Amino acid sequence: MTAPWSAGEEPQVYPIARSGDVVHIRQAIRALSQQCRLSLVDQTKMITAASELARNTLTYGGGGTVSAGMVSVDGRRGVAAVFEDSGPGISDVEQAMTDGWTSGGGLGLGLSGARRLVDDFQLRTAPGEGTAVTIIKWVR
């Protein structure tokens, strides 16, 4: 498991099954980011990244879940979210991470853009084995 959660900081798990869930996830990440006292710009970046990844999970992964919560490592605090699906996975990760490349009808900014908006970004995927994306935004 690459879950970033530290002891005593159990994440909440939210379903990503329909378009309305993306709105709920944005709200949940907003609440966490405020609780964690991320700056306004960092909150906005984290919520936007989560929105992109939640939509990816729905559109390309056929739905899944997101686990979101606070993390603390070496005295640093942050907000983390793990997006998981059991969809087709990504065969060419490098291509998928390229600005403007899309396998669907999108703009191709979801993965690459989300990576730029957060501090830590980890993509775990294999063809036929789904996709898991972990993002973290640390308090400065």
State the residues that interact with other proteins by CB under 8 A: 19-20, 22-23, 26-27, 30, 40-41, 43-45, 47-48, 51-52, 55, 99, 106-107, 109-110, 112-114, 116-117
| Strand pairing category for 120-125 and 131-138 | antiparallel
Query: How far is residue 131's CA from residue 133's CA, in Å, rounded to a whole number?
Result: 7
Shortest Å distance, C-beta 31 to other proteins: 12
Side chain identity at residue 39, one-letter code:
S
Shortest Å distance, C-beta 20 to other proteins: 6
Residue 106 CA: distances (Å) to CA of 30, 35, 65, 101, 110: 24, 32, 21, 9, 8
Shortest Å distance, C-beta 129 to other proteins: 26
Residue 65 has a CB neighbour count (10 Å cut-off) of: 18
- Closer CB to other proteins, residue 3 or residue 31? 31
Query: How far is residue 15's CA from residue 84's CA, in Å, rounded to a whole number?
Result: 10
Place of tokens 């990503």: 16
Shortest Å distance, C-beta 119 to other proteins: 13
- Closer CB to other proteins, residue 72 or residue 112? 112
- Closer CB to other proteins, residue 61 or residue 110? 110
- Closer CB to other proteins, residue 45 or residue 78? 45
